[in-house]
Amino acid sequence: MARKKKSNFLNQVIGVVLAVVIISYLGKQGVAVVTHHSGAPSASGPCSGLGSVPASEINGAAQALGISCRIVRAQINEESGGQDETSPAGAQGVAQFEPYTWADQHCPGSVHNQADSMHCYVQYMGELIRQEGSVRDALAAYNAGSGNLGAGMGYADTILAAAGQ
pLDDT at 24: 46
Instruction: Please tell me the number of Cα atoms within 13 Å of 148 on its side-chain side.
Output: 8
The class that CATH gives domain 46-162 is mainly alpha
Sign of the alpha-carbon dihedral angle for 43, 49, 50, 54: positive
All residues at 6 or more sequence positions from 154 whose CB lies less than 8 Å from its CB, including other chains: none
What CA–CA distances, in Å, run from 81 to 30, 50, 105, 108, 152? 24, 7, 23, 23, 19
pLDDT at 36: 28
pLDDT at 46: 78
Going from N- to C-terminal start, the domains of the chain cover 46-162
List phi, psi (to 5°) of 49.
Answer: -70, 170
pLDDT digits (tens, 9 = 90+) for 53-68: 999 999 999 999 999 9
| Average predicted confidence (pLDDT) for the chain | 80
pLDDT at 33: 31
pLDDT digits (tens, 9 = 90+) for 116-141: 999 999 999 999 999 999 999 999 99
pLDDT at 1: 47
Helical segments of the chain, H only: 2-28, 55-65, 69-80, 99-104, 114-132, 135-144, 149-162
- pTM > 0.85: yes or no: no
Give the largest Cα separation in the chain, rounded.
49
pLDDT at 135: 97
**Which of 3, 46, 37, 16 has its CA nearest to residue 128?**
16
pLDDT digits (tens, 9 = 90+) for 18-43: 444 344 443 443 333 332 222 333 44
